[in-house]
Amino acid sequence: MVLMDTICRIFEANHWHLTKRKRQVLQVLIDHQTECLTVCDIYRYAEKVYPGIGISTVYRNICLYYSLHILRKFSIYNKQNYYELIDPAHTDSHPYYICSQCGRMKGILDREVVEAFCNCKQKMMTDYAFHIESAKLVYYGICEACNTQEKNG
């Protein structure tokens, strides 16, 4: 609920109203905030919970949330755009993984992993006098769900 309150304040500060549809799309993002989703993923989740919502409504809202810095956007090999809800409680950069079978992208928020990632960035800046403007670490492999399916298949 804290995240929704924070986002409501962002809307108010930018003179936007959080309409029913905006709130519905936002709720889907909050419900799946550990995932990085495409517009189609968001639409599929929204359609299950809010029948009748259109993909154009989802797309317009995603564009708005991105412009308000509520979402982070990733383009992977210029094929897909993935969106991740920006949680003020997790402002540190973190690595991601992408499953080479199902295409799912997920942020790794484990404290130890994030700490190691941040330490690596710090070491690059200190030891190599390299000013990092942004960093994105993506692991590619097979996710747990696809591994399980492969073993049982």
Residue ranges for the known binding site for Fe cation are 115
Annotated binding-site positions for Zn(2+): 99, 102, 143, 146
- Cα separation of 126 and 129, whole Å? 5
Q: How far is CA 134 from CA 14, 35, 48, 137, in A?
A: 26, 20, 36, 10
In contact, 94 and 108? CB cutoff 8 Å: yes
Binding site: what residues are annotated?
99, 102, 115, 143, 146
Give the DSSP letter string of 37-83. Answer: B-HHHHHHHHHHHSTT--HHHHHHHHHHHHHTTSEEEEEETTTEEEE
Q: How far apart are CA 20 and CA 4, in angstroms?
A: 14
Distance (Å, rounded) from C-alpha 153 to C-alpha 148?
8
